[in-house]
Amino acid sequence: MNGELFQRVVAWVGGDPDENDRVTLIALLNDGNEDELVRRFAAPISFGTAGLRGPVMAGPAGMNRFTVRRTTQGVVAWMHDVGIDPARGVVVGRDARHGSEAFNDEVVAVLLGAGARVFEMPRPLPTPLVAYCVKAFGAGAGIMITASHNPPQDNGYKLYGPDGSQIIAPNDEIVEARASDATLPPLGDRSNPLHTFVSEESIAQYRSHFVERFAVEGGSDLKIAYTPLHGVGGETMISMFEEAGYRNVVIVDEQFTPDGTFPTLPFPNPEEPGALDLAIARAEATQSTLVIANDPDADRLGVAAKDDEQWRTLRGDEIGWLLASALLPEMDSPDDVVATSIVSSTMLEAMANDAHVRYVATLTGFKWILRAAGDGVLRFGYEEALGFAVDPMVADKDGMSAALAVCRLAHELSVQGLTLFDRLDEIEGRFGVHAGGQLSIRAEGPDGLTSIRAAVERLREAPPATLGETEVTEVVDLSKGCNGLMATDGVLLRLGTKGRVVVRPSGTEAKLKAYIEITAPTFAGVPISIQRLVAVAQVNEVREVLQNLLKL
């Protein structure tokens, strides 16, 4: 066995606090299983989208107690480095994934041992509550143990700064560097006076704020089927529905109790085909007209609705347009800002310009969207991956408050005899058809990320002149920046007046993703549905060409 690898494994085992993980690694050493040890040690898990995500397993390439312990030491050192007083406190939360309780305990123990004040969530709760509490308490940071919508074998570690938003560079680099220097830390326990559980009153204040903002006066008879997809959003979301006046909400029983195995779903992501099938079946059985779904940590929102006799799952962009149509009329200050990412639809820009509200396009991810307003106030931000921020009280995407906002719009339309699809027709009839689609290619195995980067590089070096019948009019290398945005790995293909394609690696999973948008003005006398079908056919053609072009 490689001597350097052997020494690294021995050193890791010497500091690992988890007996089972130590036994696993020692067994791999004794068996001489170098391939498996290389998998666990060659590429340590690193900070990506404001934190860590990866498989729960022993070794530095996995999420485990030792990784969490070292990372938390890195967070404490980062706070000192950038001048955040640990006495302001750190909000600590977790979801119900495998390992979340143990990882939560490690975070609390390391923080208390370092002399930091801790505000600990009383039980597994949604991610937006951590972001909310950071701002509400004036805390110095927030840590959430979650892998959001990742596959069941994953877990993660999300870090918020004192403004309640996800950290960005160079803060993530500081945390990672300081974590790599971590030693065996002193540990505290919950008897420490610096420890406090977040009160039920604080959680109720979160609910009250959004209920007051989006409640239906006099209550609503709108029939809603709701699922948290085996995650932690169910209890909070049902309370918010009741308090906001929705009398006819049914749950998907098989998916309501938190369960980190996600037994009814291959991937617990409301974007995935089939993820809402059980909810739609429940809605059909109860004559509901709207399906609301949260992902496992409830920071994302999925929506399906009945269009005549057919159920249709809305794209993230469509939900974004619907929310914008409801929220833009409320904005009357020059400080108000709306924002979305460069991979999301360009429709929001047109809607904002028409409403005389400032629009900003950002890099992909809510850590950028939430900073789009600068000195202004972000009143609405979204990204096509089902992330929506509908109120500045939470400086991150929030699938629960967004759910209430969608339901209020659906209620108001229903009173007029209209549906969400009628509103979408109205929007596209005014601003043009904006058909969108995605191509997502999952990379398997230890060389997956390398193959993804290679595919993007091939596209950068040899871009196509056409995508089917659609001409590529401009190629933009996003690694060199674009329109004042920071450099990011990806390629933008402009299709003249017909739309654009963005190809980039996923920030949270081993996937290569392409985001396609085909746009066209509408024509009087031709039904929107027909014009939309033409644009969708172009999207499908572009997707098919990209599928062959981007093979891993």
Residues 244-259 have pLDDT tens digits of 999 999 999 999 999 9
In whole numbers, what is the pLDDT of the chain averaged over residues? 95
Indicate if the pLDDT at residue 266 is higher than 90: no
The confidence score (pLDDT) of residue 242 equals 97
Of the pLDDT bands very low, low, confident and very high (cuts 50, 70, 90), residue 157 is very high
User: Please, what is the end-to-end C-alpha distance for the chain in angstroms?
Assistant: 31
The confidence score (pLDDT) of residue 415 equals 96
Which residues share a beta bridge with 471?
A: 466
Token code pair at residue 94: 């977790």
Note whether 43-198 and 204-329+388-421 share their fold.
Answer: yes
The confidence score (pLDDT) of residue 390 equals 98
The confidence score (pLDDT) of residue 259 equals 97
Of the pLDDT bands very low, low, confident and very high (cuts 50, 70, 90), residue 450 is confident
pLDDT in tens, 379-404: 999 999 999 999 999 999 999 999 99
Domain ranges across the chain: 43-198, 204-329+388-421, 432-549
For residue 78, the one-letter residue type is W
The confidence score (pLDDT) of residue 49 equals 62
Contacts of 470 (CB under 8 A, 6+ apart): 495, 498, 499, 518, 538, 541, 542
pLDDT in tens, 54-99: 999 999 999 999 999 999 999 999 999 999 999 999 999 999 999 9
Percent of the chain with pLDDT over 90: 89
The yes/no answer on whether domain 432-549 falls in CATH 1.10.3210.10 is no
Of the pLDDT bands very low, low, confident and very high (cuts 50, 70, 90), residue 446 is low
For residue 192, the one-letter residue type is N
The yes/no answer on whether domain 204-329+388-421 falls in CATH 3.30.70.2660 is no
Dihedral of CA 531/534/538/539: which sign? positive
The DSSP-derived string for 187-230 is: ---TTSTTEEEPPHHHHHHHHHHHHHHHPPTT-EEEEEEEE-TT
Assign 479 to helix, strand or coil: helix
The confidence score (pLDDT) of residue 308 equals 83
Write down the residue that tokens 């933009």 correspond to.
476
For residue 115, the one-letter residue type is G
The DSSP-derived string for 393-453 is: TSSS--HHHHHHHHHHHHHHHHHTT--HHHHHHHHHHHH-EEEEEEEEEEPPSTTHHHHHH
- Domain 43-198: CATH superfamily, name plus number: Alpha-D-Glucose-1,6-Bisphosphate, subunit A, domain 3 (3.40.120.10)
Query: Which of the two residues, 188 and 49, has the higher pLDDT score?
Result: 188
The confidence score (pLDDT) of residue 511 equals 85
pLDDT in tens, 118-148: 999 999 999 999 999 999 999 999 999 999 9
The residues that are catalytic are 148
- The CA distance from 340 to 434, in Å, is 15
The DSSP-derived string for 484-507 is: TBPP-S-EEEE-GGGEEEEEEE-S
Smallest Cα–Cα separation from 126: which of 234, 250, 225, 269?
234
